[in-house]
Structure 1
Amino acid sequence: MPALDLSTHPGHLARRLQQAHTLLWTTIVSEDVTSPQFAVLNTLVGADGLDQRTVGERVGLDRPTIAEAVRRLVARELVGKVRDTKDARRSVLHLTERGSRLHHKLSGRTARMNQIFLAPLDPQEQAAFLELLQRVSDATAALRNPATRLPDRPAP
């Protein structure tokens, strides 16, 4: 069997895109705050009192990833975490003053990073690219739901 053309494989291209994003993020935005951590900070801007599960759902992070991101943000005193007074099983999050200042600082950097990331595309292509990424992301998010039936695996 000849070698496959991986330029037609979405997973391969998504991995390469993620590598480019990580390089740009650490070079332009921050070496200390990850993109998922920034997403948590961003979600809490003006939305104090959200629980960890809700924040995770809003930014598309699974339970272990949101838990680790929040743990690190709390340890750095960028996010506060307290038990919900109405439901002790739940913790609510809030952006600290320090977290708010950092979010403000990094927001400008993320805008610059996005300009560089999307520079190979003209404005219409950028809009189409983002819309297509959102559609695929939304569709694949459903795959995390245990009730979603995955397509059968083809026979070997």
Structure 2
Amino acid sequence: MAAVDLNTHPGHLARRLQQAHTLLWSTLVSEETTSPQFAVLNALTEKPDIDQRTLGEEVRLDRSTVADVVARLARRGLVERVRDPLDGRRNVLRATAEGARVHRRLVARTEAMNRVFLAPLDEHERETLLRLIGRVAEAAERIRDQR
């Protein structure tokens, strides 16, 4: 049987795209804070005092991944767990002052990285790419959530 053209396989292309993103992230944004960690800090900046399950839904990370990301950020002193002021039986999460500082520093860097990442595309192509990737990701997440 002949070899297949992997450039027609979306998973292969997605892996290459992820590799490019990881390289740009570590070069232009941060070697200490990962993209999922930034997503968590970003969500907690927008919606502080949410529980871990809600946070995972906000950033589209599965339960075990969001638990690991939160634990790593907490060890670094960037996120803290506090008692929910409305329900003392549960904990909520919030970015610490240091977490907010790290988030502010990384926002501009992520914007610069995205410009480099999407530079080969014109504005219309960028919008189309982001819309299509979002649709595929949402469909995959629905499949995951049904399992």
Q: Decide: shared fold, TM above 0.5.
A: yes
Corresponding position of 1:92: 92
Runs of at least 5 residues in structure 1 that lack an aligned partner in the other structure? 148-156
| AA in 2 matched with 1:7 | N
Return the letter of the residue paired with 2:75: A
Q: What secondary structure sits across from 1:2 in the alignment? A: coil
Task: Write the distance in 2 (CA, Å) between the matches of 1:105 and 1:145.
Answer: 34
Which secondary structure does the structure 2 equivalent of 1:33 belong to? coil
Supply the distance in 2 between the matched residues of 1:129 and 1:101 (Cα, whole angstroms). Answer: 31
Return the letter of the residue paired with 1:144.
Answer: R
Alignment of 1:5-154 (within 5 A): 5-84=5-84, 86=87, 88=89, 90-146=90-146
**How big is the shift at 1:122?**
0.5
Give the C-alpha shift of residue 47 in structure 1.
Answer: 1.4
| Superposed CA offset, 1:26-56 (max 9, x none) | 0000000000000000001141110011111
Q: How many residues align?
A: 146
Q: Provide structure 2 residue ranges, at least 5 long, that are not aligned to the other structure.
A: none
Distance of 2:134 and 2:2 partners within structure 1? 33
Aligned equivalents of 1:48, 1:37: Cα separation in 2: 15
Indicate the structure with greater helix content. Answer: 2
Shift of 1:95: 1.1
Q: CA deviation at 1:84?
A: 3.0
- After the TM superposition, which segments of 4 or more aligned residues of structure 1 sit over 3 Å from their partners? none
The code of the aligned residue for 2:22 comes to: T
TM-score when normalising by structure 1: 0.90
Q: Give the structure-2-normalised TM-score.
A: 0.95
**Aligned-pair Cα RMSD in Å:** 1.1
Deviations 1:105-145 (A, max 9, x none): 00000000000000000010000000001111111111112
Larger Rg computed on CA atoms: 1
